[in-house]
Structure 1
Amino acid sequence: MSEQPTTLKRSLGSFRLWGIAVGLVISGEYFGWSYGWSAAGTLGFLIVAVLIAAMYCAFIFSFTELTTAIPHAGGPFAYAFRAFGPTGGFIAGFATLVEFVFAPPAIAMAIGAYLNVQFPSLDPKWVACGAYLVFMALNILGVGIAATFELFVTLLAIFELLVFMGVVAPGFQWSNFASHGWAGSDTFSSVALSGMFAAIPFAIWFFLAIEGASMAAEEAKNPRHTIPRALGGGIITLTVLAVGVMVFAGGVGDWRALSNINDPLPQAMKLQVGGSSGWLHMLVWLGLFGLVASFHGIIMGYSRQIFSLARAGYLPASLARVNRRTQTPVLAILAGGVIGIAAIFSDSLITINGMPLTASIVTMSVFGAIVMYITSMAALFRLRRTEPELERPFKAPGFPVVPAFALAVSVLCLVAMVYYNFELAVIFAVMMLAGYVWFRMTATARARAALDPQLTVM
């Protein structure tokens, strides 16, 4: 196989890029969020989810300004580098890497859990490992094939979420949803407020990784037009689906039976139609498409982040090589997979803060995301001041209020997450510190890296 460091192939239009944006996230509607119910209750978590949805809308419409002005595979890494220099690029790039490398093993384990519902004899871990092998191979075949597949499974996943809401709607009762809705109590209290702050990571999981579509910017046709359409349409689609799924699932029965599990939708449907219904089996099979869409899309995202960091000299240069025929970053795809598979087989061995590893991985991924959101919004303000002449095909609406809101809520989320997940926060900080040591030791590699005009102030 002949490989060379090169650029990526431009082949994505608005529709396929929208499919990537929604597909990256849509597994968040299928699992992960229900852990927030155990912390905050249904009513408390609903308030948190609406606040986070507002933050994401503000963030995405602000982030799009950066993506169209600097269409780079590194996404947040490139924006922070341009605004704050190499150290800023490191902080944003490494945080994004944590977000995108830690999210896939959680999704892979959920894929295993869903198939285990249908085939109890299957070991979820080996299913998860198999998912890595299949979808790394699909990503290696080429971005056009990968993006078309992503769009297909995303459309099926959306259809399945609509079917789920339609099937359970006749059994929906607001009294079920509201019962014990404040962290296990029927009345709001300081305990409920504390639970709402603790539930923040699981509300973020509803939308985590939508910004990954920006990492396909170097592969987008006419990015100044396709990216705003894809990201704007994506966040609207996901907000509607997230609220609908959460409300209907919580109102069909005792929601407490659905918290702290990896397959809340099949279990919610089981409360409505029973365990032998054809609807349930259809949900399990089609529900896999939502998980597959995110899993496949995030593999695409982490590989582009590894590729861009390696190309800039932040990671070993070999990870920036792409296949001459398919123009995909093969070694970057494989490197993230090795980490993910190791995490899968550590699931039963590690418990952090009393949480199962899946919940801990979700939280770690969110730590990376929040740090990246903060640096991205700070980069937006910085570049507005230092590079007023930079061409901006799309400008953040409501500047400076809208991006300031996204920045303020992101900082609040980070503070709350550190307070309620201190052990994980320490682990995240140690990882960042280790990455920074590597960053300081590899200045020579960065000096040898090819000059990237998009990382240079014009």
Structure 2
Amino acid sequence: MADDIAPAPPVTPAPSPESTYLERRTLRRGSAGWLLLTGLGVAYVVSGDFSGWNIGLAKGGFGGLAIATVLMGTMYACLVFSLAELSAILPTAGGGYGFARRALGPWGGFLTGTAILIEYILAPAAIVIFIGDYVESLGLFGLTSGWPVYLGCFVIFIGVHLWGVGEALRFSLVVTAIAVAALLIFAVGAFTEFDANGLDDIAVDTAAAGSSSWLPFGILGIWAAFPFAMWFFLGVEGVPLAAEEAKDPVRSMPKALAVSMGVLALLALVTFFAATGAQGADAIKAAGNPLVVALEGDGGPTALSRFVNYAGLAGLVASFFSLIYAGSRQLFALSRAGYLPQFLSLTSRRKAPYLGLVIPGAIGFALAAASGNGARMLNIAVFGATISYALMALSHIVLRRREPGLARPYRTPGGVLTSATALVLALSALVATFLVDKDAAFIALAVYAVALAYFAIYSRHHLVASAPEEEFAALAAAEAELARD
């Protein structure tokens, strides 16, 4: 009789709440190799060569902006080398937030993540305003700068991101390649009109301490130009946010970060000298499309200026598109770990964080449409960026000191000295945001304070232990406890 009894069917254990939670919050892995990641790093930033940086001429003159660019370039180089080490240790979608979470605890993670969110929500808002300026100058479709242009950009490019990350990054790489080629072609044309006398043609403020033709606004003008010098590099630190979607992130991340930074430094040097020398610093200091103004001067459009205008639009689109990606991944990581409302990290069937794309996009559109002030949006973005840079550099220092035995597949050249340099320069740039537009800086500070109140009162009590960044932190705490025993 016993032989006639059918064996009981195997019992499949019910999925744990933790596994179900993470299954609904996963990204498409292995979508990006080092080349796509490098393209992403350049795409984040390339719009800064076409517009935005030139406002620094109105703050510091040619000499002030030149010195500021060297200092900010040094800050970014030091930061990128520090992030290359951190991203090889912790290859998660949290990026800077994940690094700070490991080094500085939940408060440090939230402070860093919130600052990055401010940057990646406000930077696209600034860029879409510059896109409007280029569209207006081209007279495309009869459109003028304003909310229809902004809305169209957000709807179309968020739609591409919802399609899938692989497709999105390949689109970004193609548009970025067009923009980089256009910058080089622009430089060739602009250098044929180069006149060194135009570099220092801004009127000198004789009341400013240390003023001269090269520093028309004095020594303080150098400092005031910091936020605009950053526009040549702002966003490259977002490459680690693609870690969970990268192929072999331990090797590809450091390589992509280093190559991106090298390309951006070269483009900054060429663009700065070519544009300023072609028509003079005074002519382009307030232009929404400075490269076009540099080519046209008082004359009408030329074949080259029209090409650069279209290509400038491509460069702006590349950065706008890529920064939307970065913001969505930062929001995804913070939400998945419980720092922000958890529903924001839900992903679609194509593994795209749809709410993490749509909600920041809606906020960015509203800010751009309400203000129309790209320079102010830029300054608020820089405010968030500089806080995050300081905290990420500090995270590198803390982990080097506290966990010297931690496996480091890539080590930052110069070690702690490199990250300390980034920390000091980032804090200097943070102060500079108050020199440029104190109202914008205080607005950003108020938003930051509200976010911190939310964390203190609610979200720090509802963190998700199974999220990758939290698991890394828990493992580190357990290892430290064993070491003490």
TM-score, normalisation: structure 1: 0.93
Judged with a 3 Å threshold, the aligned counterparts in structure 2 of structure 1 residues 364 and 386 are, in CA distance, closer, same or farther, namely: same
Quick check: 1:111–1:288 contact (8 Å CA) kept in 2?
A: yes
Quick check: 1:43–1:181 contact (8 Å CA) kept in 2?
A: no
CA shift at 1:257, angstroms? 2.1
- The correspondence for 2:351, drawn from 327, 334, 345, is 327
Kindly provide the amino acid, as one letter, of the partner of residue 220 in structure 1: A
Kindly provide the amino acid, as one letter, of the partner of residue 336 in structure 1: P
- In the other structure, the counterpart of 1:38 is 58
CA shift at 1:400, angstroms? 2.2
CA shift at 1:262, angstroms? 1.6
- In the other structure, the counterpart of 2:33 is 13
Kindly provide the amino acid, as one letter, of the partner of residue 124 in structure 1: S
What are the within-5 Å matches in structure 2 for residues 57-456 of structure 1? Answer: 57-119=77-139, 121-125=142-146, 126-180=148-202, 186-187=212-213, 191-271=217-297, 274-324=299-349, 326-348=350-372, 357-443=373-459, 446-448=462-464, 450-452=466-468, 453-456=471-474
CA shift at 1:200, angstroms? 0.9
Find the structure with the greater CA-based Rg. 2
Kindly provide the amino acid, as one letter, of the partner of residue 80 in structure 1: A
Structure 2 distance, partners of 1:29, 1:214, is 22
CA shift at 1:454, angstroms? 2.8
Quick check: 1:80–1:92 contact (8 Å CA) kept in 2?
A: yes
Ranges in structure 1 where 5+ consecutive residues have no aligned partner: 349-356
CA shift at 1:51, angstroms? 1.3
RMSD: 1.9
Structure 2 distance, partners of 1:44, 1:374, is 23
Structure 2 distance, partners of 1:402, 1:392, is 16
Structure 2 distance, partners of 1:162, 1:403, is 32
Quick check: 2:336–2:464 contact (8 Å CA) kept in 1?
A: no
Quick check: 2:97–2:112 contact (8 Å CA) kept in 1?
A: yes
Quick check: 1:129–1:344 contact (8 Å CA) kept in 2?
A: no
- In the other structure, the counterpart of 2:12 is none
Deviations 1:6-40 (A, max 9, x none): 34422110100000000001101010001100011
Judged with a 3 Å threshold, the aligned counterparts in structure 2 of structure 1 residues 281 and 80 are, in CA distance, closer, same or farther, namely: same
- In the other structure, the counterpart of 1:353 is none
CA shift at 1:187, angstroms? 3.6
CA shift at 1:451, angstroms? 4.1
Judged with a 3 Å threshold, the aligned counterparts in structure 2 of structure 1 residues 113 and 188 are, in CA distance, closer, same or farther, namely: closer
Quick check: 1:214–1:227 contact (8 Å CA) kept in 2?
A: yes
Kindly provide the amino acid, as one letter, of the partner of residue 472 in structure 2: Q
State, as a whole percentage, how many aligned pairs show the same letter. 34
- In the other structure, the counterpart of 2:74 is 54
Higher mean alpha-carbon deviation, 427-436 vs 96-105, is at: 427-436
Paired residues in the alignment total: 446
Kindly provide the amino acid, as one letter, of the partner of residue 127 in structure 2: I
Structure 2 distance, partners of 1:448, 1:401, is 35
Higher mean alpha-carbon deviation, 285-294 vs 6-15, is at: 6-15
Name the SS for the 1:360 alignment partner.
helix
- The correspondence for 1:4, drawn from 20, 24, 35, is 24
TM-score, normalisation: structure 2: 0.88
Deviations 1:229-249 (A, max 9, x none): 111000110011011111111
Deviations 1:185-226 (A, max 9, x none): 744669421211111100111110101111001111101111
Ranges in structure 2 where 5+ consecutive residues have no aligned partner: 1-22, 480-485
Structure 1 distance, partners of 2:276, 2:203, is 10
